[in-house]
């Protein structure tokens, strides 16, 4: 498994035993199977790191995930999530990391995607089912830009229900990313993760996956919503 450069920092090794001892414990939680398999936790670290702009951290984490058995298809789940949650820049940065860790066979055929059509009322029904009620911002979208609401629905459906990992792990990855941003939206996705049978032990581990890119303050902010 790759050596962690922060743990190996000569400066910190000279003067900061508490810092490094604590960080090593966080690394152990992420890199050893627990409530969540380690291959998914290191995936979450990689996706959260891209979200914060730390491509080197993401590359190390995804390499560890591969060593732990994460498949290329499972790694692509982060690309789906970032495309929806953080847009082109983050998604393409993560795609670059995937290409390094899982090199694509240049002879592999490139296939087109199947264009999805949203039936009338489909997006609204999904919003009600997922959120319990339609949030005000989405109701405004439905009223003012139905096509925008359909687009939002399709991308959210792709992130959670049609991803390459099961919905529980997709929601837990969202929790890790939102925790890394100190985002209040983490509360909604903690609830959504529970709705697909995520346990509190899994939620805590997902939140801890934000530490490599956002520090221990991210844990305090997100864990308050458990």
pLDDT in tens, 120-169: 999 999 999 998 999 999 999 999 999 999 999 999 999 999 999 999 99
**pLDDT exceeds 70 at position 1:** no
For residue 190, what pLDDT band results from cuts at 50, 70 and 90? Answer: very high
**pLDDT exceeds 70 at position 207:** yes
Given 3.40.605.10, 3.40.50.10210, 3.40.640.10, 1.20.1290.10, which CATH number is that of 10-103+139-223? Answer: 1.20.1290.10
For residue 108, what pLDDT band results from cuts at 50, 70 and 90? Answer: confident
What pTM, to 2 d.p., does this model score?
Answer: 0.95
CA 77 to chain centre: 8
pLDDT in tens, 43-93: 999 999 999 999 999 999 999 999 999 999 999 999 999 999 999 999 999
């Amino acid at each position: 498994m790759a050596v962690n450069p922060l743990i190996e920092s000569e400066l910190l090794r000279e003067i900061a035993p508490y810092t490094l001892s604590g960080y090593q414990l966080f690394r152990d939680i992420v890199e050893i199977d627990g409530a969540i398999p380690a291959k998914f936790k290191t995936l979450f670290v990689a996706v959260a790191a891209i979200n914060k702009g730390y491509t080197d951290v993401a590359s190390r984490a995804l390499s560890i995930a591969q060593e732990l058995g994460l498949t290329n298809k499972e790694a692509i789940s982060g690309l789906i999530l970032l495309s929806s949650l953080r847009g082109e820049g983050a998604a393409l940065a993560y795609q670059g990391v995937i290409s390094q860790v899982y090199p694509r066979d240049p002879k592999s055929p490139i296939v087109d995607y199947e264009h999805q059509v949203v039936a009338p009322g489909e997006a609204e029904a999904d919003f009600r089912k997922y959120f319990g009620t339609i949030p005000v911002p989405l109701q405004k979208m439905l009223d003012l830009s139905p096509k925008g609401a359909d687009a939002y629905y399709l991308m959210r459906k792709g992130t959670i229900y049609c991803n390459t990992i099961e919905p529980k792990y997709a929601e837990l990855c969202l929790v890790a990313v939102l925790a890394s941003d100190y985002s209040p939206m983490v509360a909604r996705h903690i609830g959504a993760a529970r709705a697909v049978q995520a346990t509190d032990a899994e939620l805590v581990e997902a939140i801890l996956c934000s530490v490599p890119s956002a520090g221990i303050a991210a844990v305090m902010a997100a864990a308050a919503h458990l």
